[in-house]
Each structure stands twice: as C-alpha cells, then as structure tokens.
Amino acid sequence: MFCLRSILLLGSCLSLACADLRADLMAAHVESVFSEDAKYPNASAAFNLRFEFHPAAVTYPTSEQQVSEIVKIGKKNNVPVVARSGGHSYIANGIGGRDGSLVVDVMHLKRIDFNKTTNVASVGTGNRNGDIAQALVALGRDVSHGTCPYVGLGGHVTYGGYGYASRIWGLALDDIVGMDAVLPDGSVVKTSDHEHQDIYWALRGAGGSFGIVTTMHFRTHEIPKAATTYRFNWILDVEKSISVLLAYQNASARPDLPNELGIRHELRRGLYPGTVNHSLTGTWNGPADQFYAILDRFLKHYPEPVDSYVHNGTYFESLIYHSDKGTLNTTNPDDHDTFYAKSLATPQDYLLTEEAITKFVHVVANQGQSTTTGWFIQIELWGSKNSAINAFAYNHTSFVLRNTLFVMQFYASSHDKKPPFPQEGFEFLDNAVGSMTSTMPKGWEWSAYTDYIDGNLTTTNWQHLYYGKNYRRLQELKREYDPNFIFGKFPTGIEL
C-alpha cells in the first residue's frame, strides 16, 4: 500500500517491482530507507535544495559484496542504481539527478589503510576530503584534494579534484594508482594500469557512468615542509578591476611560474554599484622566504590591498584556513545551500582578450550589485607550463582538461540559502559566462569542469565541453559495459 502511494507520488516504482525491491534488499540484509520511512526526507535530501528528487530507496551497504548485491537487485527490478559518497553534487546526481533511483550511499566504507613500504593509501569512498587529509597529514603525507572537508571522495576524485597542491601533484585523480569497483553487471573488480585498464581509464573522469568505486588506492606525497597561507583584499572600480584581471592572467600564464604556488582570484559583490570586491588567496607550498618574490609578480600590478592575511606556517594550518570551518573534522552534517553554479575552463595557449574581460567586469560590477543572490566567482589557476595537471596527455585518463590556464567557478546562492532560487540569479551567472564566451574570437575553445557540474549545459554541446576528445571512447565503453543504463540516465552522464 505504501508502495502504491509511491507510484502515485513518484511515478517511478511499479507496485510489484517496488515490493520486490524491498523484499530483495531485506533478504540481502541491506540497510535501506524507503519513501514511507521517517528517515526518508533526510536520506533523500540533496545538498543543493534547488533539487528535490525521490529515490526508490536509499541503501547503506557495509561491504563491497553488499554493493554488488544491490547492483544486481537494481538490475533485476529494473531500477537504475546510483552511487552517493559525500552527496555534494551541484545538481543532485548523487541521488540520480531524477526520480526513481536506487541510491547506494557508501558512507559505511570508511577504512583508511596506509602501506608504509609503498606509501600507498587505500581509502574507502565513504571518506570525505577532511577525513583523508586528517589521517594522512598525521603521517606527514597527503594527496591532492579540494578545500571543502565535507566533499566526498566518490564524486570529487572520479570527476577531477582540484586544490592548492594540484599544480605540484596534479588533480586528485592523478594520485590514483588503482580503484576497486562494482561494475554494472554486479562484478567486483580491481582496476589499475594492469587490470581492467579500460574501466580504470573511464573511472578517472566519468566515474558515475561506469562503476561504483568502493576503495581508492592513492600514491601519497610527503607534505611540503612549509606553507604560506595568504589572502589579499581590494574594492576596485570597473577600470581597475579590468586591469588587475588582465595582470592576473598575464602573471599566471608565465611559463616560469613555480608549481608550488596555489592561487585563485576571487570576485564578490562590491560596496556600491560600479565596484567589485577582489581577493587573491591560496597557499605558497615553497620556502617561506621566497613568498613575496613570487607574489610580487601579481601584487606589483595591483593597488595597495585594503587588508591582507599572510601566515608562514604548516601545510596542515593551510588546509584548516581554506576549509572555512576551522576544522577538517566531518562529524557534524554539512549545511545545505540553494544555488546555481557554472564553470568555464580557459585554454592556456589562447588568453582572454581585454574586450572579453571588460564585458565580464561590467556584468559583475552592475548585475552583481542588483542581484538578490549571494555570489562568488573564483578564477583558479590550473596552468601554466609547470603545472602537474597539464603534464598529462588529454587521453591519459578520461578527464580531458590538460591544457587549461584557468577554471572559473561561478556560484550564486539564494539570499537565505533556502528555496526558491530567483530567476534573475540564473540570468546573472549565464550573463557572466556569456560575456566572455560570446566575445572571444572564433577559434578560442572553452571547456567546463565535471566537478562543478551544471545541469543547464545539457542544452548545449555539453558532451564536448565536459569530455572533449575523450567522449567518443567513453561512449564506446558505455556501449560495452552499460548499454542498458544500470547506472541510470542522469544529466551529463555518458550516453550511448
């Protein structure tokens, strides 16, 4: 009867199939939450409250064998299966990106093993960035990862993983040496350069379409001996805003910029119309006494900052600072948000023109004032020549962004971080991106970043923007491994 209600409400779970799904999960002793359960609203809530989807069930396996059984149960009952790790997908792809999915929440897969001989860390995908960083830094080591402690490894690593050490170490997925995964047919496999190479290739860039990763094996790095954490702030008018952005790009593109520099330029609402709040922030992972010599390549083109913070300290202190939470501890659930986000990756061999930057600054100085949303735009430095990210060929993994100067992230939240999200918020961000993409000359090719996933790109050539020249091979592998979409048809998922 409850299942009948779910048919009416959700239109996704046929009554018999729904009863069978529950019976099958119970027989397999899988902890599961269904729509009639008190825990369902919380278990099915997306991080981004702009999205509200109704999964057929949310499951919490305790082993990779259970993950395998759930995949087989989903297949048998014709219910698409989807993995959720940290649940931080911008468009709720961790609950399937639409109604009716069988969610496999890997939160119980929390093991972290470190092999002292090989320095390889084997980490369950129930861990978050904060968990792995705390465990590894205690051993004097770490892997490349982003700044937010609550982001889950399952999505973060299979779709990229950028942080302030990425110019030295590469993206999080470049630190992978193997992944254990459950495939669409329910088989449990170890993938690496030596086993199941094609799936291994696909998992590093398009994970959700190919497998449920249970354990990730990472090479680890000795942490930098010192780390200088910094932030400089300015409020600038339109003209100065244009000149500092040009200078930022110019200094960023220099081929001799050391890879120990992690940096991004942030834009926020200015104090009054016609102004923009700018920051330069990041971490210098090199010797402290070289910090100002390197930062001066940027700062000498900027006015005197209104305020600044510079701390000569440790790598761990830098992670804490950039977490914005004062801790990497992920014990308390993360706050939800109601937001729209977009990305724009720029090629490192074709810089943004002054005209494109000028149009962009006019949008952020004007529409960025009038919007009711709270917003930020981050211009992350992924290049240039010395960057480890760009040391790989475009097809080394299925993650295609290997010739990028900047990844820009555009992010706007409703004024109280609760629904609804205003229409003018979409228009503001669409204009901010469009001001550049429509102004740049023909021949300039932009891309987008899969970890800052934008459901609205599906109205354009998203396959090319997200996967570029790797898309065709991904399609071939999809046809080979998952032609019946056991892993669902979620927005921006690989198609046949």
Should residue 393 be labelled a site residue for ligand NAG when binding is judged by CB under 6 A? yes
Of positions 55, 61, 80, 86, contacts ligand FAD by CB under 6 A = 86
Q: Which of residues 201-240 bind ligand NAG (CB under 6 A)?
A: 233, 235
Of positions 80, 100, 154, 425, contacts ligand FAD by CB under 6 A = 154
Of positions 208, 224, 262, 270, contacts ligand FAD by CB under 6 A = 208
* Type of residue numbered 274: G
Which of ligand FAD, ligand NAG, none does residue 393 bind to, with CB < 5 to 8 Å depending on kind? ligand NAG
Residue positions counted in the chain = 496
Question: Closest Cα to residue 73, out of 43, 30, 35, 105?
Answer: 30
Which of ligand FAD, ligand NAG, none does residue 246 bind to, with CB < 5 to 8 Å depending on kind? ligand NAG
Please give the Cα distance from 369 to 274 (Å, whole number).
8
CA distances from 128 to 132, 144, 333, 348 (A): 7, 13, 12, 31
Q: Which residue has the tokens 């993950």?
A: 67
- When the beta carbons of 188 and 247 are compared against ligand NAG, the nearer one is 247
- When the beta carbons of 121 and 157 are compared against ligand NAG, the nearer one is 121
Piece in contact with ligand FAD (CB under 6 A), picked from 131-139, 140-148, 244-252, 354-362: 140-148
Partners of 233 in beta bridges: 279, 307
- When the beta carbons of 170 and 270 are compared against ligand FAD, the nearer one is 170
Which of ligand NAG, ligand FAD, none does residue 484 bind to, with CB < 5 to 8 Å depending on kind? none
Of positions 40, 350, 392, 426, contacts ligand NAG by CB under 6 A = 426
Which stretch of DSSP H or E encloses residue 34? none
Q: Which of residues 113-152 bind ligand NAG (CB under 6 A)?
A: 115, 117-118, 134
Q: How far is the CB of 93 from ligand FAD (least distance, A)?
A: 3
- When the beta carbons of 125 and 371 are compared against ligand FAD, the nearer one is 125
Of positions 190, 219, 301, 464, contacts ligand NAG by CB under 6 A = 301
| Tokens read off for 73 | 């149960």
Question: Closest Cα to residue 70, out of 78, 62, 59?
Answer: 59
Should residue 329 be labelled a site residue for ligand NAG when binding is judged by CB under 6 A? yes
Residue 431: CB atoms within 10 A of its CB come to 19
Should residue 55 be labelled a site residue for ligand FAD when binding is judged by CB under 6 A? no
Of positions 8, 326, 331, 416, contacts ligand NAG by CB under 6 A = 331
- When the beta carbons of 3 and 356 are compared against ligand NAG, the nearer one is 356
- When the beta carbons of 268 and 464 are compared against ligand NAG, the nearer one is 268
Phi, psi values for residue 139, rounded to 5°: -100, 5
Question: Closest Cα to residue 474, out of 207, 187, 216?
Answer: 207
Of the residues 159, 411, 449, 452, only one is catalytic, namely: 452
Please give the Cα distance from 244 to 232 (Å, whole number).
13
Please give the Cα distance from 219 to 118 (Å, whole number).
8
Phi, psi values for residue 150, rounded to 5°: -85, -10
Please give the Cα distance from 475 to 202 (Å, whole number).
10
Which stretch of DSSP H or E encloses residue 473? helix 471-481
- When the beta carbons of 20 and 99 are compared against ligand FAD, the nearer one is 99
Should residue 82 be labelled a site residue for ligand FAD when binding is judged by CB under 6 A? yes
Piece in contact with ligand FAD (CB under 6 A), picked from 15-23, 143-151, 272-280, 428-436: 143-151
Chain centroid to CA 159: 6
Should residue 155 be labelled a site residue for ligand FAD when binding is judged by CB under 6 A? yes
The closest residue (CB) to ligand NAG is: 455
Question: Closest Cα to residue 107, out of 86, 90, 121?
Answer: 86
Please tell me the chain's helix, strand, coil percentages from 3-state DSSP, rounded to the nearest 5.
Answer: 35, 25, 40
Should residue 330 be labelled a site residue for ligand FAD when binding is judged by CB under 6 A? no
Question: Closest Cα to residue 24, out of 65, 74, 63?
Answer: 74
Should residue 323 be labelled a site residue for ligand FAD when binding is judged by CB under 6 A? no
Should residue 294 be labelled a site residue for ligand FAD when binding is judged by CB under 6 A? no
Should residue 288 be labelled a site residue for ligand NAG when binding is judged by CB under 6 A? yes
Phi, psi values for residue 12, rounded to 5°: -125, -30
Please give the Cα distance from 162 to 171 (Å, whole number).
5
Which stretch of DSSP H or E encloses residue 261? strand 261-269
Q: Which of residues 238-267 bind ligand NAG (CB under 6 A)?
A: 246-247, 250
Q: What is the DSSP letter of 441?
A: P
Q: How far is the CB of 75 from ligand NAG (least distance, A)?
A: 25
Q: Judge whether 452 counts as a catalytic residue.
A: yes
Please give the Cα distance from 302 to 296 (Å, whole number).
9
Q: Which of residues 87-116 bind ligand FAD (CB under 6 A)?
A: 87-90, 93-94, 106
Should residue 267 be labelled a site residue for ligand FAD when binding is judged by CB under 6 A? no
DSSP structure string for 279-306: EEEEEE-S-GGGHHHHHHHHHTTS---S
Of positions 6, 12, 158, 470, contacts ligand FAD by CB under 6 A = 158
| DSSP H helical ranges for 207-348 | 238-253, 291-299, 315-323
Which residues lie near ligand FAD (CB under 6 A)?
Answer: 82-90, 93-94, 106, 125, 146-148, 151-152, 154-156, 158-163, 207-208, 211-213, 451
Which residues lie near ligand NAG (CB under 6 A)?
Answer: 42, 91, 115, 117-118, 134, 233, 235, 246-247, 250, 268, 277, 288-289, 301, 306, 312, 329, 331, 333, 393, 395-396, 426, 455-456
| Residues labelled catalytic | 452
